[in-house]
Amino acid sequence: MPISLHAAFVPSCRQIIGGCLQVLAKAEAAGACDPAEARLAPDMYPLGFQVKQVAMHSAGAIAAVRVGQFSPGGAPLEASYAAFAAALREADEALASVSEAEMEGFIGGTTLFVFGERKMPFKSEDFLLSFSQPNFYFHASMVYAILRNAGVALGKMDYMGRPRMAL
């Protein structure tokens, strides 16, 4: 039996968002870094940008498929652990409300990525699986890497969140 678009996208996003929430909570408790300044390298975006992209490339990607267009940008998140966690909880709640039937209805639709003059047309399922999903994982791993690099005691299981085990 083929896997549904919902099963390929939503549960894994929710799992990793849970991991990001755990990583942020550990960082806040450790007081290891200033959330406004934390970044992996001088030429990389800061922690708040990475967190925002996790939300944008999960719940934001589904919202974009609904309207047929995704444009990055918008206001940055307030540079605080509370604001970062709120953005991720909001994304998780939005993902929890997406039904399998709605996701299957996206298949064959179109979603246009627009960034300035750049326009990239996608089939909606390809936008989710070949554009947003890799971006989602990249930015989630950067949240982990920034905080691990700042000295927060983190391990891979912190990043992974709660796996979906057969019990």
Domain boundaries, the chain: 5-160
Match 């909606």 to its residue by tokens. Answer: 124
Instruction: Give Cα separations from 143 to 12, 34, 88, 108 (angstroms).
Output: 16, 13, 12, 33
In 3D space, the residue among 122, 124, 56 whose CA is nearest the CA of residue 94 turns out to be 56
Tens of pLDDT, residues 67-88: 999 998 888 999 999 999 999 9
Evaluate if residue 141 carries a pLDDT over 80: yes
**pTM (2 decimals)?**
0.95
Q: How far is CA 109 from the centre of its chain?
A: 22
- β-pair type (69-70, 110-115): parallel
CA–CA separation, 142 vs 44, rounded Å? 10
Tens of pLDDT, residues 75-126: 899 999 999 999 999 999 999 999 999 999 999 999 999 999 999 999 999 9
Beta-carbon contacts of 6 under 8 Å, excluding residues fewer than 6 positions away, are: 98, 99, 100, 102, 103, 104
CATH number of the structural domain 5-160: 1.20.120.450
Mean per-residue pLDDT over the chain, rounded: 95
